[in-house]
Amino acid sequence: MPPQFQNQTSTSNTVPQILPAAKRSTIFLPIFAFLFFVVAISWQLFNEKKHVGVIDKFYIYEGNYVIEGRNLSKVEIWQIPTGTDITEDNFALVSGAQWISGDEESGKKFVSFIKDCPLATNIFARGFNLKNKKLEQDVYLSYNGASEIFDNVCKKISKIRTDWKTYINKKYGFELKYPAFFERDISYNSETFLLRLTTLNPSDSFEVAVSEFPSYDDKYILNHPDGGITCEFSLASKSWERYLYDEEKNTWELADFSVLDCPHKIQINDNTFYLSEDKSAYIFLRDDSMLNIYLNQDNNSCGYTDNCIAQPPLTNKKTLESILSTFKFISTSTPVDNL
């Protein structure tokens, strides 16, 4: 073979070299690392988008500010006051809002009771995500300007505050009035509960129940929620007696009045009530059955907000006594079932 063709023949018959495993891994490792990085970042962005805090709705219902949203740790209600030269420094925090229903997946509902007529040109809700960071966007009520807010907020809540409804029960011969913001009937088949209503928050309730005295000893027994304590009301003496359970003696011992706050006697108009913990009152009906008028308030917190006005002041003594002042006995000449 001529010399000039020897190199060409040798070159054409050369076997391709295979890279060692160490070199192959060195080449592909950055590629795998890059792909893993891309997937990780995409997954993180997906999760962040999925769990981003957002307020979907902000409106007024039944005398409450109502906020619906997702992935929120808390919500605050703010207002922009009337006047001139108003800056963001003048914006006022009104209250926190209370989470009453829902979850992160389906969405949460928050409420804040409107305590006073807002003297403002705008009202907005400010949300915070699950990391307690303020959302970028506040959500405003649809009313703009002091006159619109007065017409659509102040007038409506004034009507709710002043309107009371009347409950009449001819079977037991009494009637009473209660605030109109209790309007959601949660009555169920029970001979004990005559009436059970809630506000927008289902944990806030107004209840009227009747309890018949046990046939033994003509006493009404009230168990204290703390346990180990009981109150007994004697039909004969028309008074409460307080008992504490003595574990050492394994007996119930008559307690001093200062040890336990059993229901205490109050006189409102011509009626005698027995008030317990400023949220529950008892009165005897004509057939010696005991009527219990009860206000229950949800005491859940409003997230991290301190000045929380989550619901109307249902449990204060003044509110309960206002309801009791409307109680009166009526004729039972035509007994009927609960009305």
d(CA 57, CA 203): 22
Tell me which amino acid residue 83 is.
G
| pLDDT classification of 336: cutoffs 50, 70, 90 | very low
Mean pLDDT for 289-302 is 70
Q: Which of 107-121, 189-203, 220-234, 258-272 has the highest mean pLDDT?
A: 107-121
Least confident of 20-29, 45-54, 152-161: 20-29
User: 175 and 149, same structural domain?
Assistant: no
Least confident of 39-53, 99-113, 138-152, 182-196: 39-53
The pTM for the full model equals 0.60
Tell me which amino acid residue 244 is.
L
**Domain ranges, residue 117:** 54-160
Q: Is residue 318 part of a domain?
A: yes
Least confident of 168-177, 179-188, 210-219: 210-219
Q: Which of 80, 68, 76 is nearest to 96 (CA)?
A: 76
Bridge partners of 313, per DSSP, are none
pLDDT at residue 25, as a whole number: 58
User: 145 and 185, same structural domain?
Assistant: no
- Classify residue 241 as exposed, middle or buried by CB count within 10 Å of its CB (0-12, 13-18, 19+): middle
User: 137 and 93, same structural domain?
Assistant: yes
User: 288 and 215, same structural domain?
Assistant: yes
Least confident of 30-39, 107-116, 240-249, 253-262: 253-262
pLDDT at residue 333, as a whole number: 44
CB 91 within 8 A of CB 83: no
Bridge partners of 67, per DSSP, are 58, 110
* Phi-psi group of 62: left, alpha or beta (phi > 0 → left; psi -120 to 50 → alpha; rest → beta): left
pLDDT of 304 over the 50 cut: no
Terminal CA-CA length for the chain: 122
Mean pLDDT for 98-122 is 86
Structure tokens at 258: 């200062």
CB 112 within 8 A of CB 62: no
* Phi-psi group of 251: left, alpha or beta (phi > 0 → left; psi -120 to 50 → alpha; rest → beta): beta
d(CA 20, CA 17): 9
User: 245 and 155, same structural domain?
Assistant: no
Least confident of 108-122, 269-283, 291-305: 291-305
Mean pLDDT for 78-97 is 92
Work out the percent of the chain whose per-residue pLDDT is above 90. 24
Taking residue 52's Cβ as centre, other Cβ atoms within 10 Å add up to 13
d(CA 232, CA 224): 11
β-strands 107-113, 120-128: how paired? Answer: unpaired
pLDDT at residue 301, as a whole number: 44
User: 243 and 156, same structural domain?
Assistant: no
User: Which residue has 């979907």 as its token pair?
Assistant: 56
User: 96 and 199, same structural domain?
Assistant: no
User: 221 and 325, same structural domain?
Assistant: yes
pLDDT tens-digit series, residues 1-33: 555 545 554 455 555 555 555 555 566 667 766
Query: C-alpha distances in angstroms, 157 versus 58, 65, 116, 125?
Result: 17, 11, 9, 19
pLDDT at residue 287, as a whole number: 66
